[in-house]
């Protein structure tokens, strides 16, 4: 998921968080970068496969799909065990098919069976708030919250690690019964009494982590969360109001989910094993169940695979099926920034979220022997105006390198990011403190605040360079710590795009701008599992009710909550309309009206503005998104045309649209390429290979969603040397739901600024009147 639990919840579960490994390599890895497939288990020649079928091709001799599936398994993969017992999951809502254990050879034979659309080898995803709703502009007495009744009745499905239902964030005081059309339920399991655990807030809880052969038959039928990630993200999006919440006194205050009256349905699809995480098969089954149960939207804080074609990605196929049925899906963009083209979950039917800071920090100071003070962040709990000066010593911070003779009585400076889990080993070796660099963030306001049990601080990349310079220049480098143990709000520049937040352009479809938008994802306080320590480290015996995590896993549920508020007021809107409202009203500026800064990028030591490749359309602002004026709508046919324009084969197209027996015709390909998908943002590529490489013309259609007649005039901004012509320049609307189209010609001027191939630059197009501003970011790329 995309949370960065204690280390940017650097682990690897559903949480685009960063967690810390429990193995000998103490350095945590991002729990939010769920993108990489894990190595196969060595003890078996069988693997789990998803067999996708075209249900329309079922032979008539089989009365049911299940009998057809059993016949396939018996014929092409005979075993002593019956086929019915071997089939792990069946899918029948967002896609059709089943999951079964096969050898590689059996999988190849299965892929040739008539009616089988595709066979996917099971892979793994990994998982990547007292102030953030208010930071996004939500108010109790006016605007989106009261207008939407705080999202009352909207049901959000979470595909995650489960839930800890006893937390105050899941109290249902004041909520009425769930709607009568809801088909979901809570499932009894050991340690999870459905009657006692579920209520009018938690209206569904199921587990898809039973009989998992890739984990030696791991079997956990309980939706209870033993990791913490699912509890955190669900309470961020839809947690009830809690009068007081804090972590060891930090971030104390009133807590609320973004849509505090929305209902929660938890679908547990992730297990606490770094080699298994969130398997494709379980995630697909969970999405299938959520849509069948009747959720309004799905929140997936899972990192995808940036370069995996959509036809080879069960998550892309399953979410396509969900959107086709009218379910809004929001996903974490990943924690692999600040490198270019690291963003995942980039299909145009997905809403993809990056992470920013808020205006809250937890400052701690490292005072060097030369008098320089470096400010970082820490959740260390012993207040001190200044410890004694202690020797600094470098370490790789692997367990083997943290020895008594090396670190006893010294402050360990880790050469890569490390968190509280590493701190336990530093303490064991007699270390007196630790310093961890956050190599992805250039500014201290954006680094992770971690629950160190010894004096410890996380510092930015910029501060790390100063520390390294000092240690290189001194024969006996020393430092002391100062911990105010306080929460400081409103004084730092915010929001900033977090350094870890994955960036565009998309590898698979660079002419679809991703991420779509950003939301708070750094040092977010939310509910936590009673089984998991705040550090997510096995040796940590501490237990807390709330925890502070970072990652795009944390940003994703903020947007899910905002979408729930919109769905409450605009129940007839399509998923694309909801996304458009969120994007075209998003804020590209910080709280003081300056351009948003990118903490992952600096030029010559100066802060750089966050481009749309990092921030998308900007920070989600739910109050404005409730009334966007105009929206860019799109539906199944638009997405089918998008895939056809990528030159997908007939067989590949049937994975998404089983009814397409003959594949794509000429009409299904978008004139001008995928950049002409009716998307709320633009990517303009000037190509030397085109007939007129210096000119691009794109078309969009907007739908009026406000009630009264309105006229909109266009404004735009473009880089030097690029001319923009919009036709028409005025759009007039009389009735709600009217549509108007416009074209934009972008042309490189003959005497304009010369840019090397591969250069990116940015601008925007806005349709405006006195009440509404419908703004779309524009990214320009030169391939001339």
Q: How far apart are CA 174 and CA 629, in angstroms?
A: 33
Bridge partners for 714 per DSSP: 767
The contacts of residue 606 (CB under 8 Å, 6+ apart) are none
Strands 116-121 and 47-53: antiparallel
> Of the listed 553, 580, 599, 747, which one is catalytic?
553
> Of the listed 47, 118, 229, 461, which one is catalytic?
229
Q: How far apart are CA 397 and CA 395, in angstroms?
A: 5
Q: Is 318 helix (H, G, I), strand (E, B) or coil?
A: helix
Per the listing, tokens 């489960």 go with 162
Q: How far apart are CA 483 and CA 364, in angstroms?
A: 5
132 labelled catalytic:
no
Kind and range of the H or E element at 194? Answer: helix 194-197
Tokens of 232: 């955190």
Tokens of 771: 């009440």
553 labelled catalytic:
yes
Omega prior to 515 cis, within 30 of 0: yes
> Of the listed 3, 21, 46, 160, which one is catalytic?
160
Q: Is 748 helix (H, G, I), strand (E, B) or coil?
A: strand
Q: How far apart are CA 497 and CA 519, in angstroms?
A: 9
By the 8 A CB rule, do 318 and 302 touch? no
Nearest by Cα to 306 from 445, 503, 489, 77:
503
Q: For 143-147, which contacts have Cβ atoms below 8 Å and span 24 or more sequence positions?
A: 143/622, 143/623, 143/626, 144/562, 144/565, 144/622, 144/623, 144/625, 144/626, 145/565, 147/565, 147/569, 147/626
160 labelled catalytic:
yes
By the 8 A CB rule, do 100 and 122 touch? no
Q: How far apart are CA 504 and CA 280, in angstroms?
A: 24
Q: How far apart are CA 357 and CA 354, in angstroms?
A: 11
Bridge partners for 297 per DSSP: 156, 328
Largest Cα separation within the chain, whole Å, is 83
CA atoms within 13 A on the CB side of 338: 22
Tokens of 278: 């969130």
The residues carrying an active-site annotation are 160, 229, 553
């Amino acid at each position: 998921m995309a949370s960065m639990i204690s280390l940017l919840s650097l682990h690897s579960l559903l949480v685009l968080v960063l967690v810390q490994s429990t193995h000998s390599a103490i350095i945590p890895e991002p729990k939010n970068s769920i993108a990489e497939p894990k190595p196969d288990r060595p003890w078996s020649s069988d693997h789990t496969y998803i067999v996708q079928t075209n249900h329309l091709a079922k032979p008539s001799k089989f009365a049911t799909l299940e009998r057809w599936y059993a016949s396939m398994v018996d014929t092409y993969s005979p075993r002593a065990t019956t086929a019915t017992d071997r089939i792990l999951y069946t899918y029948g809502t967002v896609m059709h098919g089943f999951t079964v254990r096969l050898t590689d050879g059996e999988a190849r034979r299965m892929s040739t069976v008539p009616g089988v659309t595709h066979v996917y080898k099971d892979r793994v995803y990994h998982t990547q708030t007292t102030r953030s709703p208010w930071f996004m502009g939500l108010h109790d007495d006016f605007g989106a919250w009261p207008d939407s009744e705080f999202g009352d009745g909207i049901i959000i499905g979470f595909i995650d690690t489960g839930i800890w239902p006893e937390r105050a964030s899941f109290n249902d005081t004041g909520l009425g019964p769930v709607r009568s059309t809801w088909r979901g339920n809570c499932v009894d399991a050991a340690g999870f009494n459905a009657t006692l655990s579920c209520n009018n807030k938690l209206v569904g809880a199921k587990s898809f982590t039973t009989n998992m052969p890739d984990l030696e038959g791991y079997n956990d039928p309980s939706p209870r969360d033993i990791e913490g990630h699912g509890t955190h993200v669900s309470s961020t999006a839809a947690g009830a109001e809690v009068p007081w919440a804090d972590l060891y006194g930090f971030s104390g205050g009133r807590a609320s989910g973004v849509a505090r009256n929305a209902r929660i349905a938890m679908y547990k699809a992730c297990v606490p094993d770094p080699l298994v995480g969130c398997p494709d098969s379980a995630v697909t089954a969970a999405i299938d169940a959520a849509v069948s149960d009747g959720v309004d939207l799905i929140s997936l804080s899972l990192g995808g695979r940036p370069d995996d074609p959509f036809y080879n990605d069960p998550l892309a196929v399953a979410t396509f099926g969900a959107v086709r049925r009218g379910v809004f899906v929001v996903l974490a963009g990943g924690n692999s920034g600040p490198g270019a083209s690291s963003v995942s979950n980039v299909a145009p039917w997905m809403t993809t979220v990056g992470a920013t800071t808020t205006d809250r920090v937890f400052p701690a100071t490292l005072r060097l022997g030369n008098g320089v003070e470096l400010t970082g962040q820490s959740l260390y709990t012993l207040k001190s105006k200044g410890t004694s000066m202690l020797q600094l010593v470098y370490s790789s911070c692997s367990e083997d390198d943290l020895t008594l003779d090396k670190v006893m009585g010294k402050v360990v400076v880790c050469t890569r990011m490390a968190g509280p889990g590493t701190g336990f080993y530093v303490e064991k070796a007699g270390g007196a403190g630790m310093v961890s660099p956050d190599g992805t963030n250039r500014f201290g306001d954006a680094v992770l605040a971690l629950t160190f049990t010894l004096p410890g601080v996380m510092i930015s990349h910029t501060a790390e360079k100063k520390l390294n310079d000092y240690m290189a220049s001194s024969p006996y480098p020393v430092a002391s710590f100062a911990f105010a143990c306080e929460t400081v709000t409103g004084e730092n520049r915010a929001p900033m795009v977090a350094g870890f937040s994955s960036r565009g352009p998309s590898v698979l479809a660079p002419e679809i701008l991703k991420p779509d938008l950003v939301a708070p994802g750094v040092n977010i306080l939310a509910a936590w599992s009673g089984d998991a320590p705040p550090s997510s480290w096995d040796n940590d015996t501490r237990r807390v009710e709330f925890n502070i995590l970072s990652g795009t896993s944390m940003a994703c549920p903020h947007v899910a909550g905002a979408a729930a508020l919109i769905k409450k007021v605009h129940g007839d809107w399509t998923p694309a309309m909801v996304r458009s409202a969120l994007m075209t009203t998003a804020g590209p500026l910080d709280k003081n009206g300056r351009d948003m800064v990118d903490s992952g990028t600096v030029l010559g030591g100066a802060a750089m503005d966050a481009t749309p490749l990092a921030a998308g359309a900007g920070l989600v602002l739910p109050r404005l998104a409730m009334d966007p004026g105009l929206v860019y709508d799109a539906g199944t046919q638009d997405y089918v045309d998008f895939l056809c324009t990528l030159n997908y084969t007939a067989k590949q197209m049937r994975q998404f649209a089983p009814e397409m027996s003959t594949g794509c015709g000429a009409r299904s390909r978008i004139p001008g390429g995928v950049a002409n998908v009716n998307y709320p943002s633009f990517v303009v590529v000037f190509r030397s290979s085109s007939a007129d490489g210096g000119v691009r013309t794109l078309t969009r259609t907007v739908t009026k969603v406000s009630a009264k007649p309105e006229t909109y005039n266009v404004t735009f901004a473009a880089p030097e040397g690029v001319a923009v012509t919009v036709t028409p320049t005025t759009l007039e609307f009389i009735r709600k739901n009217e549509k108007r189209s416009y074209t934009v010609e972008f042309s490189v001027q003959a005497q304009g600024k010369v840019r090397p191939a591969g250069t990116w630059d940015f601008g925007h197009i806005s349709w405006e009147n006195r009440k509404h501003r419908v703004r779309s970011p524009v990214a320009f790329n030169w391939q001339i």
